[in-house]
Amino acid sequence: MPLISYASAVLCSIDLRLWLIFAAGSIVLWHLLKRQEIALRSAIIYTAFILILTLFSREGSHEQAVALMPLWSWGQVLFHGNYELFVQICLNLLLFVPLGGLLGCCRWVQQQQRPLLLISLAGLVLSISIEWTQLLFHLGLFEWDDMLHNTIGCALGGLAASLLKQPLPEP
């Protein structure tokens, strides 16, 4: 078994648990330390985690797999009952939520005119980079839906970060 295949088997079996641990740990660190530098470093580390999970944990193939029809995955879910694909959609959304949350905690992002737009663009750029790399190196399915879901997940994380930093209303 090639080393990359073995690594992907190990990574895929623990990826959701790692994601949950990392997300919870990042939130706890942010609340306890309230230091902007930690949020930026955590965002960089989490970006590396996303790249490892989406690029290095996949086996290459001889064919390029492309799905160019926007929202095709939702058609499969809604009209054909493909619930495995629905789980994949949810995981794509969830994968980018911590990144958006961490970016939303960075001081530089908070000082911008439209931080949520900036966070969404960061998620889109990362997602486009991943999808194009998968296409060029035959590492999976290139699809618009992944880019859309990842961007929405990043935006949701940024929105959650902005809501969490707001003071609670007085009772």
- What's the mean pLDDT when you consider all of the chain? 77
Confidence band (pLDDT; 50, 70, 90) for 113?
Answer: confident
Identify whether the C-beta of residue 162 lies closer than 8 Å to the C-beta of residue 101: no
Helices H / strands E in the chain, number of each: 7, 2
Residue 15: predicted pLDDT: 57
CA distance 155 to 93: 10
pLDDT at 141 over 80: no
**For the residues 27-38, what does the mean pLDDT come to?**
61
Residue 39: predicted pLDDT: 77
pTM above 0.85, yes or no: no
- Helical (H) or strand (E) element with 100: helix 83-104
CA distance 86 to 45: 27
Tokens of residue 4, six digits:
């990359």
**For the residues 25-46, what does the mean pLDDT come to?**
69
H helix runs in the chain, sequence order: 3-33, 36-51, 72-80, 83-104, 107-110, 115-136, 144-164
Condensed to tens digits (0 to 9), the pLDDT of residues 116-135 reads 899 999 999 999 989 888 88
Condensed to tens digits (0 to 9), the pLDDT of residues 10-21 reads 445 555 666 666
Condensed to tens digits (0 to 9), the pLDDT of residues 55-76 reads 876 666 666 667 677 787 887 7
Residue 61: predicted pLDDT: 61
Q: How many C-alpha atoms does 83 have within 13 Å on its Cβ side?
A: 0
Residue 62: predicted pLDDT: 61
Query: How many percent of the chain have pLDDT more than 70?
Result: 70
CA distance 30 to 102: 9
Tokens of residue 161, six digits:
């970060």
Identify whether the C-beta of residue 135 lies closer than 8 Å to the C-beta of residue 54: no
Residue 8: predicted pLDDT: 52
Report the b/e string of 133-157 with b at 16+ CB within 10 A.
ebbeeebbebbbbbbbbbbbbbbbb
pLDDT at 3 over 50: no
What letter does residue 71 receive in the DSSP assignment? T
Identify whether the C-beta of residue 129 lies closer than 8 Å to the C-beta of residue 151: no
